[in-house]
Structure 1
């Protein structure tokens, strides 16, 4: 697979290129903020999630030599959305007030919850690997859907009919699902 031109964003993070880092913030922060504030979060939550996603990407590029073979935007938005949904799940498990005894009681349920988070992260990674296996057109279509863009706008931007886009999206989702299911049976 060839490296996508958007690899420049990851390279910019690695080299601390302030121009490219600023571009990432300018191009994507608003979308992340909108998503999180529309899904029970605050602007501070959005800033935290955005920053955590940037740090995760930096780690992946530096320590695991992550290479993009598809556009940066859907990949980054997916990371941020997954992080926010995981944060909402964590918040849902926490009581509003805590007794002093609860603060010192670290039982088996905490370890089970931590194991579940680890499994969810592994599944997200596996999903991204299978997503990367899709053809360029499928990655573009599904990536645009992940950004929340309207189907009509996607069809117009891609120069295809609405009917074709819906059919192609279904085919791409079916392919992705089959990849994921095959991978899960191997594990």
Structure 2
């Protein structure tokens, strides 16, 4: 469970303060990303709002657990929704194609948007490669990024602190190698 899961709980409980925080933390970056992909400002707002509604529906399922940053998850939903809109418009004969929607970058947002998109894609690649390593390595890497001190984490996992540090180092090396060699 990621620390941003608190926002899922906020959606369940209709916590206005945390919901406002969701908007303030995630909307500007996602809006800039969608605009860089050809969305108009109003379209970007609509896509974000629809994604938040979808997230609200997911939050109602008690089995749903957020395991990544909220912004990355929302961006993934928004990206998919935008692709669907572009494809739908293409089928109706609207001149904007999928390629147009994904090559246009507004001059004012160029560097920030590119950095944001690159970072998101790298994070997704790391998460994808994380699924390919052994379950024990995945467990160690994920647990090591929790707020629990490493010494306490070693005790919880039933291993020595030295073993945990060495195993984490080996697992990270394996993950880095997979990411670097990924096409």
* Residue matched to 2:74: 76
* Residue matched to 2:54: 56
* Residue matched to 1:13: 11
* Residue matched to 1:29: 27
Alpha-carbon distance in 1 for matches of 2:58, 2:129? 16
Alpha-carbon distance in 1 for matches of 2:54, 2:65? 14
| Correspondences of 1:16-165 after superposition (within 5 Å) | 16-63=14-61, 65-96=63-94, 131=128, 134=131, 135=138
Quick one: structure 1 residues 22 and 173, their matched pair in 2 at CA, closer, same or farther if it must change by over 3 Å?
farther
Q: C-alpha displacement at 1:16, in angstroms?
A: 0.9
Aligned 8 A contact 2:11 2:19 in 1: yes
Quick one: structure 1 residues 131 and 64, their matched pair in 2 at CA, closer, same or farther if it must change by over 3 Å?
farther
RMSD: 3.4
Q: C-alpha displacement at 1:173, in angstroms?
A: 8.2
Aligned 8 A contact 2:129 2:178 in 1: no
TM-score normalised by L of structure 2: 0.53
Pick the structure with more helix per residue. Answer: 1
Alpha-carbon distance in 1 for matches of 2:4, 2:179? 22
Quick one: structure 1 residues 20 and 173, their matched pair in 2 at CA, closer, same or farther if it must change by over 3 Å?
farther
Structure 1 range deviating more: 68-77 or 14-23: 68-77
Quick one: structure 1 residues 95 and 35, their matched pair in 2 at CA, closer, same or farther if it must change by over 3 Å?
same
Aligned 8 A contact 2:129 2:179 in 1: no
The total of aligned residue pairs comes to: 116
Q: C-alpha displacement at 1:31, in angstroms?
A: 1.0
TM-score normalised by L of structure 1: 0.52
Superposition misfits of 4+ residues, deviation over 2 angstroms: 130-137, 172-175
Stretches of structure 1 that go unaligned for 5 or more consecutive residues are 97-126, 141-163, 178-187
Stretches of structure 2 that go unaligned for 5 or more consecutive residues are 95-123, 132-137, 146-171
Alpha-carbon distance in 1 for matches of 2:31, 2:129? 26
Alpha-carbon distance in 2 for matches of 1:70, 1:32? 16
